[in-house]
Amino acid sequence: LIAEQDQLFQRMLREPGNLDVAFAYAAVSARLGDNEAAATALERMLLFNPNLPRIDLELGALYFRMGSFDLARDYFSKALAPNAPPDVRTRASGYLEQIATQQSPSHFQGYLFFGAQYQTDANVAPGSPLIHSPVGDVLLSSQFVKRPDTNIFGSGAFLYSYDLGTQNRDAIEVTGIGFMNHYFRTQRLDLGFAEVTAGPRFNLPTPDDRVSRLSVKPYAILTEVGLGEAQYFKSLGTGLESTATVWDDLAIR
């Protein structure tokens, strides 16, 4: 690909008006991750013919990948011209929606997982009520003998953040996690757990090139735990979290 990119670049120098060569060079550059070179080639094409909605779309996609949302929006808006093909208009509209989401100060993400299961020994008890012990045989109550049961369960988590608009991209964060387990017969084993934290996250200057991101977050925390359809305990407190991203892909918290 690098050799092909170099050959196409030399052809562009010899044939500056050949739009097919310029587009091929941009495509190869994009595959190599050289988005700047690809964008330059496509912008040169618009100098020869400014009415190319498909080129506007590709330019917008390149600047979108580079994080230049304002430039990307301008090109996507041009790609919505009345003479643009339907597929170009559809893709451009989709990108514009993504930009609006990316630039919104509020972001919400989360997951929810749930299911059901059947257990032949839900209470993890012996199969017989008769227990032999050094002091003699003991006859267990029926609730302490093996019994089958069906239960439903679910877990989930969410993160809501609000960008405070500072230069360091500080934000207010609210997080939550939860778990629920309900048995239809052995309800004394029902378990519920929920935890919510809230606080500001401050992004700090990194100490050296090995750390790409460093932040600290003081927070308040509320925890609620239920067992057997009754409150087991609750807690309220504060905490301090620090997060660092090192070597580009390893997060330490």
Contact 115, 153 (CB under 8 A): yes
CA-to-CA distance for 226 and 119, rounded, in angstroms? 22
Residues in the chain: 253
**Neighbouring C-beta atoms of residue 239, cutoff 10 Å:** 11
The band of 13, judged by pLDDT with boundaries at 50, 70 and 90, is confident
How confident is the model over 73-88, as a mean pLDDT?
88
Helix axes of 53-65 and 86-102: crossing angle, nearest 10 degrees: 30
92 sits in the region (left: phi over 0; alpha: psi -120 to 50; else beta) called alpha
pLDDT at 132 over 90: no
Q: List C-alpha distances in Å: 41 to 44, 47, 106.
A: 5, 10, 36
Type of residue found at 31 = R
Find, among 247, 174, 240, the residue nearest to 206 by Cα.
Answer: 247
- Tell me, what's the pLDDT at 6? 86
- pTM score, two decimals? 0.62
Pairing of strands 130-133, 250-252: unpaired
Question: Which has the higher per-residue pLDDT, 144 or 120?
Answer: 120
Question: Which has the higher per-residue pLDDT, 199 or 12?
Answer: 199
pLDDT at 179 over 90: yes
Q: What is the largest CA-CA distance in the chain?
A: 101
Helix axes of 86-102 and 69-79: crossing angle, nearest 10 degrees: 150
How confident is the model over 151-161, as a mean pLDDT?
97
Pinpoint the alpha helices (H) of 111-197: none
Contact 177, 146 (CB under 8 A): no
Paired residues of 236 in beta bridges: 222
Query: Counting beta carbons within 10 angstroms of the beta carbon of residue 204, is it exposed (0 to 12), middle (13 to 18) or buried (19 or more)?
Result: middle
Paired residues of 211 in beta bridges: 246
Q: For the chain, give the mean pLDDT.
A: 89
- Tell me, what's the pLDDT at 25? 86
Find, among 221, 223, 110, the residue nearest to 158 by Cα.
Answer: 110
